[in-house]
Chain A
Amino acid sequence: NAGVTQTPKFRVLKTGQSMTLLCAQDMNHEYMYWYRQDPGMGLRLIHYSVGEGTTAKGEVPDGYNVSRLKKQNFLLGLESAAPSQTSVYFCASSDREGQPQHFGDGTRLSIL
């Protein structure tokens, strides 16, 4: 029962470095999402995808890019990391609008 798998689980970066977070789901879901979680702010949507080859901006997209080349994978990229991007990042998927989202275990990212 893999569900939604995120890699890596932890990462420390220096300001200006780049990296890619990978999300994989095995439930054949159409919709995938990237959120960031910061203390006292709940989860905020960064980008989302409604199907293979599509992406769209969420609430806080600046500084991030995404790609959905395969239905099961959704990648989140940071081109030039900034300390303000220190956060816990969660990927989620759902089979259609209005339905519950299934979450991965998160990636804890620290940017020094």
Chain B
Amino acid sequence: AQSVTQLDSQVPVFEEAPVELRCNYSSSVSVYLFWYVQYPNQGLQLLLKYLSGSTLVKGINGFEAEFNKSQTSFHLRKPSVHISDTAEYFCAVNTNDYKLSFGAGTTVTVRA
């Protein structure tokens, strides 16, 4: 069984500063990895995904993530955040079956 740990529950950041959200997973088999974003009172939107190939994945809204198999990590980064990036971010893992396991979420608050 896989599990997902998001290492930071809250990340405050100033506008135009970089941000990194950390995600570690545990799984004994190959995985597919995802980052989702949830804006207030909305559902989850897919930011990016790693299925195979290049370990550096680019997503929407200027986000990118790097898959590190040896460290079992999939950290999300953005070089310069905007106020509109204030949201909750979820890391998720799938091992090619029905089950998508989510981390507990990281709340990003961007301040001017």
Contact A104 B98 (CB under 8 A): no
Task: Give the residue of B46, B102, B105 whose beta carbon is less than 8 angstroms from that of A100.
Answer: B46
Expressed in whole angstroms, the minimum distance between the Cβ of B29 and any Cβ of chain A is 11
- Residues of B within 8 Å of A, CB-based: how many? 25
**Bound CA–CA A99/B83 (angstroms):** 30
Task: Give the residue of A40, A99, A104 whose beta carbon is less than 8 angstroms from that of B43.
Answer: A104
Closest to A42 in B: B102
Contact B90 A42 (CB under 8 A): yes
Interface residues of A in 73-111 (CB under 8 A from B): 90, 92, 97-106
Interface string of B80-112 (1 = CB under 8 A from A): 000000000010001111111011110000000
B14 at the interface (CB under 8 A from A): no
Query: Chain A residues with Cβ under 8 A from B34's Cβ?
Result: 100
Query: Chain B residues with Cβ under 8 A from A58's Cβ?
Result: 99
Query: Chain A residues with Cβ under 8 A from B36's Cβ?
Result: 103
Query: Chain A residues with Cβ under 8 A from B49's Cβ?
Result: 100
What is the interface residue range for chain A against chain B?
A: 20 to 34
Q: Given that A31-B98, A98-B96, A101-B100 are known contacts, is A42 also in contact with B105, CB under 8 Å in the complex?
A: yes
Query: Chain A residues with Cβ under 8 A from B51's Cβ?
Result: 98
**Bound CA–CA A58/B45 (angstroms):** 22
Interface string of A28-45 (1 = CB under 8 A from B): 000101000000111111
**Bound CA–CA A45/B93 (angstroms):** 13
Closest to B103 in A: A42
B44 at the interface (CB under 8 A from A): yes
Contact B105 A48 (CB under 8 A): no
Interface string of B18-60 (1 = CB under 8 A from A): 0000000000000010101000011111100101000000000
The 10 closest A-B pairs by CB, nearest first: A42-B102, A103-B43, A98-B96, A103-B44, A105-B43, A43-B102, A42-B104, A98-B32, A100-B46, A98-B94
A→B interface (CB under 8 Å): 4, 31, 33, 40-45, 48, 50, 56, 58, 90, 92, 97-106
